[in-house]
Structure 1
Amino acid sequence: MKFAIAQLNPTIGDLAHNAQQVLNAARQADQLGAQILVTTELVLCGYPPRDLLLRPSFIQAMAQTLEDLALALPPHLAVLVGYAAANPKARYSGEKPLFNSTALLQGGQVQQVFHKQLLPTYDVFDEDRYFAPGQGPSSFTLPCGDWGIRVGVTICEDLWNDEEFWGGRSYARNPIADLAGDGVDLVINLSASPYSLHKAQLRSAMLAHSAARFRCPILYANQVGANDDLIFDGASLAFDRQGELVARLPAFQAGLAVVDYDPVKGDLTPGEVAPLPTDDNEALWSALVLGVRDYTHKCGFAQAVIGLSGGIDSALVAAIAAAALGPDNVLGVLMPSPYSSAHSVSDALALAQALGIAHQTLAIGPLMADYDQVLDPLFADTSPGIAEENIQSRIRGNLLMAISNKFGHLLLSTGNKSEMAVGYCTLYGDMNGGLAVIADVPKTRVYALCQWLNQQVGQGSNGAIAPVTLGTLATRVSAQGLIPQNILDKPPSAELKPGQVDQDSLPPYDVLDDILDRLVQRHESIADMVAAGHDAAVVEKVLRLVSRAEFKRRQAPPVLKVTDRAFGMGWRMPIANRWRSEAAVHPLTAEQLLEA
């Protein structure tokens, strides 16, 4: 008995294209002798469809597409397809109007439909907004010789509630335990699990635990590709009943694998296990390249434009864009001001040459003088300060947007997570863009990624940043590396005034990033951070900056999510907010509270 896993990259709302992907995979699986094909969660509409699910015409079109797909599939192949199904009880029961469902298609018909039981409503997930929970256990019988195989069907979150693995349950039910108690021979899971650092290892450990605990093989099909801010890494898995990994598809690319099931032993047999990325930098790089490529193409763009400052952030974004779209499809724009150092210009030019991207220089000194002249009557008798500094950034932002509008290029924002957190970025300036590529990557990780990238070039690796040929780049830049060494070595600076460096306003980035990780990711108190060795005054300053920058983050471009806590749809902080965590260190008296 052969089970096929299709790791597909659907586009949200493109029902015909997504159905064609399923059909192509089904034909391939049929040629390989598979009896059943497993696709991914909501593959027919793409995950997450969000408020498209509120449109009745969309749901009706999806149902029709499902029926058409059933007729087109190889007639003897069973295919599990994820889609959103109407809830017929919704009108009179008060339930949500839809189910997150899986249809079993065979013989030109929808044979059975199974519904997701556990609906995540946290971080980026909002499934309770749309779906009613299904009731299980859900299973079907797959004919096999003189007997049949009982197959349990689960959808994504249904697997994420094992109290033994997590130390407790988030939901009352554990669908895997229910299926095991119902006597199924194998469990299938259709998933759309977004990428974040180390999540692939967590998934693998969780699935191995469940397979071994319930003595039941598990097939896990995960979506791949990026939709808006979410990146899906694929890396679909299969575990035997001992919890041993028997198959894994490659991460960050679509694919199909066939896994054999031995009905006599009641177990999966070993197959091909694709390796995972060897370290965090490789995984993060692959995710960001995939995120930029899919966001650009799925939004209808072919080329990107980037402001090249000669700094490390724009260097990394340019390298990612060149890898994702090809160097011929990336334009780097240098916009030096009178405060720009000579090395910033030369470093940006060296980077553009190393990447092989086109570049253009637009000096902004004359525009700055025009702004000064226009504002002089209003700004008279005041000292130059942040307002004048930010004008430079906004001039650059306007120029980049003009290029984007004129030539149809996607403008990529280059700010990192550390800057986004504390507001060290300018609205309508360097925050301009259609996608914030590294706004979930802390500054210290930006340096680590660039150093890793240079090592890959030096080693002549050909796979890491395809379609850029690393061997050619290595020849072109010799021992200098893809990212010029001076960009890595010089103190980071916005260069908005003479001699300016980031550390004039911010703690050293290793200190800042650790505080931000403890605050944003771990939700630690000031007292916890002080106990970890941080200066209380520095911690309090960082927390004030994070709180005050909320209005900026609300207006930022979509942020590619690569950590568990990104400044995207899963971050839901109020802007008008008077809570200050400083009270944890300096509690207010009743009188002070009344005065506040």
Structure 2
Amino acid sequence: MDGFYRVGAAVPELRLGDVDHNIQKIQTLYEQAAAKGCAAVVFPELCVTGYTCADLFEQEFLISRGREALLHFCAQTRGCATVAILGLALPYQNGLYNCAAIIQDGKVLGLVPKSHIPNYREFYEKRWFLPGRQIRNSTYRLGTEDIPWGVDLLFYGDDRFTFGVELCEDLWTPVPPSVYQACAGAALCFNLSASDELVTKADYRRDLLRMHSARCFGGYVYASAGPGESSTDLVYGGHALIAENGLILAENQRFVFASSLITADVDVHRLWHLRRAESTLREASTPYPFRHVQLPMPPPALQTLERAVDPHPFVPDNPQLRNERCREIFDIQASALARRVAHCHARKLVIGVSGGLDSTLALLVCERAIKVLNRATADIMAVTMPGFGTTDQTYRNAVELAKALQTDFREMPIRESAKLQLQALQHDPNQHDVTYENVQARERTMLLMNLANKHGGLVVGTGDLSELALGWCTYNADHMSMYAVNASIPKTLVRYIISWVREQRPELQEVLDRILSTPISPELLPPDANGDI
């Protein structure tokens, strides 16, 4: 699964201040994440001791036990390729810092301090911790090793799997450290958090992560402290989330005392593509240089993809959201067309109507656009052009819809003119090949273009995104128009937008029901003996 990386967010069962219990629960969750093939798994802020130890953080015994537990975890995970990101308190010079330890193959690869220390409302972390945002280009002596230490660290597994780390409050600031990390090349950010629960805060937190991942064109993996924390003043729900470029890929159930792990497969290859193709991220600069820490082992390769792939990515499953999407698209179409008509001073809109889905939607859009401009629907020239494959059903659909919308309806059969072209080409009319079909398609487009010229109008195209993407159209025929209102809408969504209009327009329900039930066909081949297409 090239380009996909499985990541995890773990919330271990916690006993406040019981370091041995906590590290054992952390290790169990880490082993589960490794068994699932995770490239990295993040744990909550200060998870080794617990976040709500308060003045116990002033006890050297607790701080020392945290360091010992970290080294014990390293010894137990030697040879493992999954990166673990743990939270603990570490002393440095004259202060104590709230830190993340990044571990792989039994080694602490880097230590990242929390940049922003909250000290407002329910938070008073500055009683114990110092902000680490000025710590850069430094090392920390841990055991017998000098470990890269600071907010200027990025971690690299390969050309694609690159990540940074920030802690809780860092995300809630106007310019989070992860913004600079993304600008410096991090495709993912892991956040160790201890975010308390208030009414509606989970919704805000979810939206914050979702939008932040979109702003950074990245993946964001978040694990927050669970209900095992002290509830003297606050309650912690253990919220875990994984987001990718504005989408929530995974989310856990909060307020569960047992350990929990969520995982998701992040499409890092796509993130890099979006950054290079669509964003200004590549032009952004950072206020300080970053140090690059190479992982000693490559991230585990995925054997299977657990990520769900939506077979209808443009059509939301939720009916309310789907209706909102349809309304938005329909308004965009009509507004765009109205602007073009006004700019060109077009006297008429000329559209070919077949009684099928695409021309129906385009005609409905034309009607809305004309009404936006406060003009009569008679300024729409709806033209049906029966050919060799036109059936009674689609002909009836086209006629009834055009008349129901009070358009300037025209009927211009193309059978005889198409026969003349086939005769000029010395083509057997019984040979129903591409020439036979395309003669009809081009004849229709020629008529519409000439009609628009005669009446000072615009030819409105009806082809949809699916047809254009697949080449399911005739070159120099229905692929051409003066303004194509359906060009960015897939066929699956066209049907839903018409259904949405049907609910808004009771007077059109009968004809729209018939159109929605009509089989999709260009109607360029004669119907069978039963009149079916």
TM-score between both structures, scaled by the size of structure 2: 0.45
- Which one has the largest radius of gyration? 2
